[in-house]
Structure 1
Amino acid sequence: MQISFLQILMLLGAFQGFIFSGFAFFSNKFKSRSNLFLGLLILTFSYNILQNFLIISGILNQFNYFETFHIPLSSVFLVLFYLYVLYFLHPNLKNRKSHFLLFVPFLIALLESILEKIGFATKLFDQRDIIYFNYFRIGFEIFNVIFSLILILASFRLIQNYERNRIVKSNKHPKMVVRWLKTISFILLVLCLYWPIPLYFEINHDLETSELYFYPLWLGLAVTIYTLGHIGLYQYGVVQEQKSIRNYSNNQTIAIHVEVENSKNENVEAFENYIKIEKNYQNPDLSLELVADELGINKSYLSRIINNEIGKSFTDYVNEMRVEEAKIYLANPDFKNYTLLAIGLEAGFNSKSVFNAAFKKFTGMTPSEYRNSIK
C-alpha cells in the first residue's frame, strides 16, 4: 500500500477539522447556534474526508468500507451550511421544526446504510448484492447535487434579503458585513456545478477517472469549508465586539463635534438632526439618495445645500462624523483589545479599508497609529 502526497493532505485536513470543530463546540467565547452548525459542518466534512482516505488509500476495500465504516454524509453538508447562514444572520430567530425536515434525505440514506450493514453482518446479503446498493447510492448522489444547489441558492437569498433589509432597520443593532459569506456561497455554488463531472464517470463505472476528477472537488471543498470555519469564528467575534460597542453607544451621550458653517436653512437643520442627533451616520448603507428620501427632499437640491450651507460634501460630512466617533472608541480602554474592523463598522464604515482611508484623511494617522498615540 502506497500513500500519495494528496492522500496525506486529506488525512491531515481531516484531523485539523476534528480539532477545529472541537474548538467551535467547547469554547465559551464562540458559543452560539450558528457556530454549533459551523462546528457540525466541519466535523461531518472531516469525517467524510477520512472515509474517502480509507478507501482511496486501499486501507479498506469497497466492500469492507460500505459494510463497516461508511456514513452517508454528502446530503448533510449544505443543510448545515444553510442553517449556519440562517442563524448567523438572524441569531434571535426561533428554532423551527420545518428546518429539521432538511435532514430527511440524510436520515433516509443513513437508514439504507444501517440496513446494508446489518444485512452483510447477518449474511443476509453477500458481495453480489452490493451492486443494488450502488445503484441506490448513485441515484442518491444525483439527488444530492440538485438538493445542494437548491440549498446554496436559498443561502444566497438569505444573504440578499439581509443586505436589503438592513438598510431600513434601526441603528440600535449592529449591521454585519456579509460580503465574505456571499463569496463563500458563490465558491460552493461553483463546486456543486462541478460535482456532476466526477459523478458522470462514477455512473459509467470508470472509477479511476472518477477518482481523478473527485480530487479537485474534495480539495476545493476542504479549502472552502476550513476557510469558512476560520473566517466564521473571526466574524462572530467581530459581531460580539460590535454589540458591546453599540450598547455603550446607545447608553451614552457621545458628543460628536464637526465644524460647519452657520446656517438657518430648515432643510439643513433637518439633515443635521437626521445624521447627527439620530446617529444615522452609523448606518454603513447611508447614502445621499436614502437621506433625501427620508427627509422628502430632492436629491440634487439636498446635495447643493449641503455643499453651500455646511461647506462640505455629503460624504466628507458623514465620514468626518464617523471618524470622530471612532476616535472615542479607540480612546476607550474598555475597547483597547477590540479589532479595528469592529470599531470601524460601529462608527458607520462598511469596510476596514474605507475606515483606514477616511481616518487618515481627517487625522493624518491610521486608526492603529492613533490608538498607539494615546496609550
Structure 2
Amino acid sequence: MNIVSFLTGMAGLSVFVSLLLAFFLLTVQTKNKLANRLFACYLIFFAIDNSGIFIDENFIRNNFNLEFFRWTICALILPAFYLYIVSVCFADFRLKPKHLVHIIPFIITNTVFLVRLYFLDDAQQTLFYEHRDQSPEMSYLFLVLGLQTILYSIGVFLVLKKYRAIYQENYTNPRTSIFKWLFQMAMALFVLYYLSIIKNIVRYANIDYLWIWSNTILQFLVLAVTCWFVLKALNYPELFRGIDSKLELARDIVPKENKDILGTKGNQEEAITKQILALKNYMTEKEPFLDPSLTIQELSNQIDIPVRDLSILINHHIDQHFFDFVNEYRIQKAMNILKNPLKSDLTVLEILYEVGFNSKSSFNTYFKKYTNLTPTAYRNT
C-alpha cells in the first residue's frame, strides 16, 4: 500500500466514523437535542470537507459546481462547533436570529464563487480547477479559514472561562467532567486546525512529498481525535449538561456606587460581619453541604438571604468561590469522621458520599488540597 492509498483510507474511515456518530446523535432519545444536533452538524460539515481526499477525480470533473460548493462547507465547521460548546455549557441556550451572523462567511464565500466560478463554462472550470492552488479564490478561502480558526479559538475558550467561573460561584457538585471534556475537545480540535493552516502553507511551498506527509500525519490525528470523540460521547453521556447562562459573577453584581445591598455605608461593615457569622453558623449547625447537588440558589432559600447578596457575601467578602466554600466544610466533616474511632469501619468511599461528594477522584483532590495528605494517610497519622 502506497502513502496515497493509506491517506485516502484514513480519510474514508474518519468520514465514516464522523457520519456514524452524527447519525447516532440525531436519532438518540435525549433531553439535550439542541447540543446533539449542533454536534451532529459539526461532524457532518467536517465529514463533507474531509471527503475531498477520496472523491473520484472523474466525478469532480463532471460536477465542478458541487465540488466548489463542497469547498465552502469549511466555513460552517467552526461556527457549528462554537454553538455546540455554548449549548453544552448553558442549558438555557436557544438558537436565535442573531446567531445567523455565524454563517456570513459561508454566504460571502458562495457569493464570491457565484460570481467567479459557478457560471463558468466547462472549459473555464476545468482550467480553474487544474490551477486552483494559484487562484485568488483559494487564497481567499484559506484566509477565511485562518481568520475563523483564530477568532473561534478565542471565542470558545472565553465561553469555557465564563462557564467555569459561574460554575464555581454557584454550584458545589465537584464534578468538573463537563469543563474538562469541552476544554480537551477544544484543544484537540484547534491544534488540528492550526496544523491544517501549516499544512496549507506547506502546500504552497511546492514540495510534493512534504505536503503528502504533512497531510498523512494530519489525517492520522484527525482519525484519532474523531474516534476519541466517539468513545467519549458513548461512555460519558452525562457530559451533555449545562448551567443557566443568566447567572452572574459576583464581580459583575457588586454595587459600583457608595451603597451596598447588604447595608448602608455607615453600618455596611457591621452588617457584612453579622451575615458572615450567621452563614458560617448555619453551615456548621444545619450542614446543608451534605447535599451533593447544593447550589447557591438552594442555600439562599434555606438561609433567607437573596441569592445576589449571598453570592457577593461568599465570592466577594469571604473571597472564596461558592464551590470551594462548601467543599471546605465537606472536607472538615470528612476529617472528623476519619479521626473518629467509632467510625473506623467506614471506607473512604462511604465517607466521601456521606459528606456530600459523589466522586472519589474529586474528594481525593480536594482533601489533599486542604490537608496535603490523602484521606488514607490522614486517617493513619
- Give the TM interval when normalised to the shorter protein: 0.5 to 0.7
Per the alignment, do residues 314 and 355 of structure 1 end up closer, same or farther by CA in structure 2, a change over 3 Å counting?
closer
Pair 317,219 (structure 1): closer, same or farther in 2 beyond 3 Å: farther
Tell me what 2:282 maps to. 270
SS of the residue corresponding to residue 125 of structure 1 reads helix
Letter in 1 for 2:107: L
Q: Counterpart of 2:157 in 1: which secondary structure?
A: helix
Counterpart-to-counterpart distance in 1, 2:337 and 2:61 = 66
Report how far residue 278 of structure 1 moved. 5.8
2:47 aligned counterpart, secondary structure: helix
The correspondence for 1:354, drawn from 348, 358, 362, is: 362
Q: How big is the shift at 1:180?
A: 2.1
Cα separation, 2, equivalents of 1:67 and 1:148? 26
Alpha-carbon deviations, 1:9-51, whole Å to 9, x = none? 2212212222221111111136511111111111121222222
Q: Which residue of 2 aligns with 1:168?
A: 169
1:154-181 deviations in Å (ceiling 9; x for gaps): 1111111111111222569x97631121
Question: Equivalent pairs: percent with the same residue?
Answer: 12
Match of 1:261 in 2: none
1:5 deviates by 2.6
Q: CA deviation at 1:214?
A: 2.3
Q: Is the 8 A contact 1:11 1:53 kept in 2?
A: yes
Q: Which residues in structure 2 correspond to 1:3-82 (within 5 Å)?
A: 4-29=5-30, 31-54=32-55, 59-60=57-58, 66-70=64-68, 71-72=70-71, 73-82=73-82
Gaps of at least 5 residues in structure 2 are 244-276, 297-310, 321-327, 339-345, 368-373, 377-381
CA distance in 2, matches of 1:318, 1:97: 54
Report the 3-state secondary structure (helix = DSSP H, G, I; strand = E; otherwise coil) of the residue aligned with 1:180. Answer: helix
Q: CA RMSD in A?
A: 4.6
Indicate the residue corresponding to 2:124 in structure 1: 125
Task: Name the SS for the 2:93 alignment partner.
Answer: coil
Consecutive unaligned residues in structure 1, runs of 5 or more: 243-264, 300-306, 329-346, 363-375
What's 1:154 paired with?
A: 155
Quick one: structure 1 residues 94 and 361, their matched pair in 2 at CA, closer, same or farther if it must change by over 3 Å?
Answer: same
Specify the code of the residue in structure 2 equivalent to 1:145.
Answer: G
Given residue 124 of structure 2, which amino acid in structure 1 is its aligned partner?
F
**Partners of 1:158 and 1:352 in 2: CA distance:** 28
Scaled by the length of structure 1, the TM-score of the pair is 0.63
Deviations 1:35-81 (A, max 9, x none): 111111111212222222226xxx44875574543502222221111
Q: Distance in 1 between matches of 2:19 and 2:5?
A: 22
Alpha-carbon shift at residue 113 of structure 1 (Å): 4.7
2:335 aligns with 316
> 2-side partners of 1:211 and 1:158: how far apart?
36
126-135 or 16-25: bigger deviation: 126-135
**Which amino acid is 1:83 matched to?**
L
- Deviation string 1:289-318 (CA, Å, 9 cap, x unpaired) is x9995797799xxxxxxx9xx9x8466369
Q: Report the TM-score, using the length of structure 2 for normalisation.
A: 0.62
- 1:170-224: CA deviation from partner (whole Å, max 9, x where unpaired): 569x976311211222223323332332212323444553233222223323332
How big is each residue's C-alpha offset from its partner over 1:122-156, in whole Å with a ceiling of 9 and x where there is no partner?
Answer: 44734334447832112221221121121012111
Tell me the equivalent position of 2:264: none
Whole-Å Cα distance in 1 between the matches of residues 98 and 65 of structure 2? Answer: 33
Aligned residue number for residue 332 of structure 1: none
Q: Distance in 2 between matches of 1:353 and 1:109?
A: 48
What's 1:136 paired with? 137
| Separation in 2, partners of 1:273, 1:229 | 46
2: CA distance between counterparts of 1:297 and 1:322?
30
